């Protein structure tokens, strides 16, 4: 009797799946026709974006890729649910995942996670205290928009609604940054577990500090809205390596995790390869596995990575270009020369940004990595020497991720945090069962990074105070010269930007990266800072229209006010403000 009931339920369930699949396929196929796409785009504009769509061609391409992706997803889903071989495959993957998870003592992660949460929380206290609206935070705090979908970061888009409890975002800091700390602590523990050969020690945990406190990721932690999703992108690249003992589980989890990374923050795309390279090198160097096993694991991981990126590129990603940044990849004939040029620029920027103490510390870590690799090698020492150097070079290249393949990649600090993960992986490897002097060198470097985090947070606070002082004086002078709040035909153009506060100039003497991390207020490099912070944040919008299309220097405007901090030129309708250093 029960068996008959179960059979009937299974038949009903299969029929429902088939019906829903047919409906889904019909919808996806319908979207392929232009009139339907036009209707969908109009509805999306009204319901989601609350505005009329102008660029129909761009949205047509997006819908076309979504429709094709939907068709593929439905077919794969039906195969896994309705076909016997598909169901068998799903059961095998589920069982392998359960087996891998059962072999991990997650309770042993609790204390290390609490330790790293305390370390990271302590390190970002000054950043939280600074209460600095960092770059895109300006626009989101004023207008409440999300906008991550422009960069295909749909996971960030979704979780931002969950975290903020509304589709309209408001400043709820430091909650997002505290979530980022929690995610970073989990990432550090898992990285120490994976790279440290499944043995977690306090030294290995502290060695992972560059993961979150290398200066480039400090920029990510400065974002009041973006921070947790940037941290999540790193965690997503680490998780798959908990399943390396089971091939099918590793492949499945890798695809899902890499898609999550792509839909949170693509700058983390190199993290997956950094761990992969280190694990393969360790297995080869100690002869823990045969060449066949290592090459098999490497081939599977590379295939899975390329497959996930291809899925994202074909069915999920939106092409987007803004200013000098683009998601367009090099054409195939130029991919090698273009990538090498991007890596060269990446190396030059990193070299410029790092202070001498950091360079010495990093050099020591690299030397200890080579020395340990040779000492513990089961291969020929000279061969191990050259291979370890090759691993360092390849890992450095991989740390920039897929950005190295883009025609116009992002070189801002928040896009370069792969270098910090690269350093964290090497540091954990070096302190694992090696000389005390190597441990001291690693911890000394990480202490310098930890201390810099405090300096950086205080620098943000100093810059905010100095910038608001300058802006206050400027707005006072403008309101005195043009007191009529109803005058709408005034257009203002700014020349130069507010310079760095003296404390930042002092830090920059030894740590040049501080000038890349701390934004200059009223700088034209950040549209929201220039067009949003100045007029809107200080409620001066009713009489201001920023005009960036005409160079007001060419108008020879008369000087109406010249002070210690700025010069104001105007003919009554056009205003040119020259900020003095």
Band (pLDDT 50/70/90 cuts) for residue 579 is confident
**Least confident among 32-46, 148-162, 256-270, 471-485:** 32-46
> Rounded mean pLDDT of 499-524?
88
- Tell which residue, 363, 241, 364, has the closest CA to residue 304: 241
Which alpha helices (DSSP H) does 32-55 contain, by range? 34-44
Q: Which of 475, 503, 426, 428 is nearest to 575 (CA)?
A: 475
Averaged pLDDT, 247-269 = 94
Q: Are 533 and 138 in contact (CB under 8 A)?
A: yes
Confidence (pLDDT) at 77: 82
Residue 397: the pLDDT is 95
Closest CA to 70 of 20, 23, 25: 25
The pair of three-digit structure tokens given for residue 393, joined into one six-digit string: 């070079």
Distances (CA, A) of 512 to 29, 420, 472: 54, 16, 28
Residue 53 has pLDDT above 60, yes or no: no
First-to-last alpha carbon distance for the chain, in angstroms, is: 87
Mean pLDDT of 174-188: 96
pLDDT value of position 413? 92
pLDDT at 524: 56
Asked whether the predicted pLDDT for residue 486 surpasses 60, the reply is: yes
Do 236 and 268 form a contact (C-beta atoms < 8 A)? Answer: yes
Q: Of residues 326 and 568, which shows the higher confidence score?
A: 568
- Confidence class of residue 309 from pLDDT cuts 50, 70 and 90? very high
Question: Which carries the bigger pLDDT value, residue 527 or residue 252?
Answer: 252
pLDDT of residue 147: 82
Structure tokens at 66: 């979504």
Q: In this predicted model, what pLDDT tens digit does every residue of 357-388 receive, in sequence order?
A: 999 999 999 999 999 999 988 888 899 999 99
**What is the percent of the chain where pLDDT is above 70?**
87
Mean pLDDT value of segment 30-50: 61
Is the torsion defined by CA of 527, 528, 529, 531 positive or negative? Answer: positive
Residues 6+ apart with CB under 8 A from 221: 124, 127, 177, 180, 212, 227
Q: Is the dihedral of CA 384, 388, 390, 394 positive or negative?
A: positive
Nearest one of 284, 267, 271 to 241, comparing CA atoms = 271
| pTM of the full structure | 0.90
Paired tokens of 73: 């997803």
Name the more confident of 139 and 563: 563
Residue 497 pLDDT: 83
Confidence of residue 427 (pLDDT cuts 50, 70, 90): very high
Confidence of residue 527 (pLDDT cuts 50, 70, 90): low
Alpha-carbon distances, residue 216 vs 104, 163, 416, 456, 515 (angstroms): 32, 24, 6, 11, 12
CA atoms within 13 A on the CB side of 373: 28
What is the pLDDT at residue 320? 67
Q: How confident is the model at residue 5 (pLDDT cuts 50, 70, 90)?
A: low
Give every strand in the sheet of 566-570, ordered side by side: 491-495, 574-579, 566-570, 559-562
Residue 349 pLDDT > 60: yes
Number of H helices, E strands in the chain: 24, 6
Residue 95 pLDDT exceeds 80: yes
Q: CB under 8 Å, gap of 24 or more: what pairs does 194-198 form?
A: 194/238, 194/241, 194/242, 194/275, 194/279, 195/275, 195/278, 195/279, 195/425, 195/428, 195/429, 195/432, 196/428, 196/432, 197/282, 197/432
Domain ranges of the chain: 2-82, 104-434, 457-579
- What per-residue confidence (pLDDT) applies to 40? 64
Q: Which of 233, 229, 213 shows the shortest CA–CA distance to 126?
A: 213
Distances (CA, A) of 256 to 237, 259, 305: 10, 5, 10
């Amino acid at each position: 009797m029960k068996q008959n009931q179960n059979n009937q339920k299974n038949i009903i369930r299969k029929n429902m799946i088939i019906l829903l699949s047919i409906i889904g396929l019909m919808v996806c196929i319908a979207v392929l026709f232009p009139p339907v796409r036009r209707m969908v785009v109009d509805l999306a504009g009204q319901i989601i974006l609350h505005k009329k769509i102008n660029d129909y061609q761009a949205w047509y391409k997006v819908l076309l890729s979504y429709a094709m992706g939907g068709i593929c997803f439905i077919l794969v889903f039906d195969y896994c649910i309705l076909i016997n071989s598909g169901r068998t495959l799903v059961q095998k993957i589920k069982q392998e995942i359960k087996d891998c998870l059962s072999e991990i003592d997650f309770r042993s992660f609790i204390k290390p996670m609490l330790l790293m949460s305390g370390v990271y929380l302590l390190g970002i206290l000054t950043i939280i205290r600074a209460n600095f609206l960092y770059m895109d935070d300006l626009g989101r705090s004023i207008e409440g928009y999300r906008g991550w979908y422009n960069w295909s970061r749909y996971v960030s888009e979704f979780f931002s609604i969950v975290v903020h409890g509304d589709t309209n975002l408001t400043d709820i800091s430091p909650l997002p940054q505290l979530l980022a700390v929690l995610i970073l602590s989990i990432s550090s523990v898992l990285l120490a577990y994976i790279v440290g050969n499944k043995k977690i020690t306090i030294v290995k945990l502290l060695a992972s500090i560059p993961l979150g406190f290398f200066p480039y990721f400090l920029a990510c932690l400065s974002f009041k809205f973006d921070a947790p999703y940037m941290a999540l992108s790193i965690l997503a690249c680490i998780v798959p390596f908990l399943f390396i003992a089971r091939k099918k589980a590793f492949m499945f989890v890798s695809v899902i995790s890499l898609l999550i990374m792509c839909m949170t923050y693509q700058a983390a795309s190199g993290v997956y390869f950094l761990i992969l390279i280190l694990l393969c090198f360790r297995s080869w160097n100690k002869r823990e596995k045969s060449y066949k096993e290592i090459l098999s694991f490497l081939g599977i991981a590379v295939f899975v990575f390329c497959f996930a990126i291809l899925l994202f590129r074909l069915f999920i990603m939106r092409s987007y270009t803004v200013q000098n940044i683009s998601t367009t990849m090099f054409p195939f004939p130029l991919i090698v020369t273009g990538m090498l040029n991007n890596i060269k620029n990446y190396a030059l920027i990193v070299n410029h940004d790092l202070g001498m103490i950091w360079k010495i510390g990093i050099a020591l870590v690299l030397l200890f990595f080579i020395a340990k690799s040779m000492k513990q090698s089961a291969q020929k020492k000279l061969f191990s020497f050259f291979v370890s150097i090759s691993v360092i070079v390849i890992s450095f290249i991989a740390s920039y991720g897929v950005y190295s393949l883009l025609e116009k990649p992002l070189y801002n600090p928040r896009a370069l945090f792969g270098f910090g993960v690269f350093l964290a992986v090497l540091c954990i490897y070096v302190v694992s069962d090696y000389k005390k002097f190597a441990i001291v060198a690693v911890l000394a470097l990480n202490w310098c990074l930890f201390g810099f985090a405090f300096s950086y947070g205080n620098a943000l606070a100093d810059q905010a105070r100095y910038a608001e002082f300058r802006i206050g004086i400027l707005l006072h002078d403008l309101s005195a010269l043009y007191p009529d709040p109803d005058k709408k035909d005034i257009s203002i153009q700014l020349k130069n930007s507010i310079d760095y506060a003296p404390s930042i100039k002092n830090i920059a003497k030894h740590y040049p990266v501080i000038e890349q991390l701390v934004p200059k207020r009223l700088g034209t490099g950040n549209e929201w800072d220039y067009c949003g912070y100045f007029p809107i944040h200080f409620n001066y919008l009713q009489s201001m229209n920023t005009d960036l299309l005409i160079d007001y220097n060419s108008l020879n405007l008369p000087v109406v006010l010249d002070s210690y901090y700025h010069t104001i030129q105007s003919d009554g309708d056009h205003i040119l403000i020259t900020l003095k250093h």
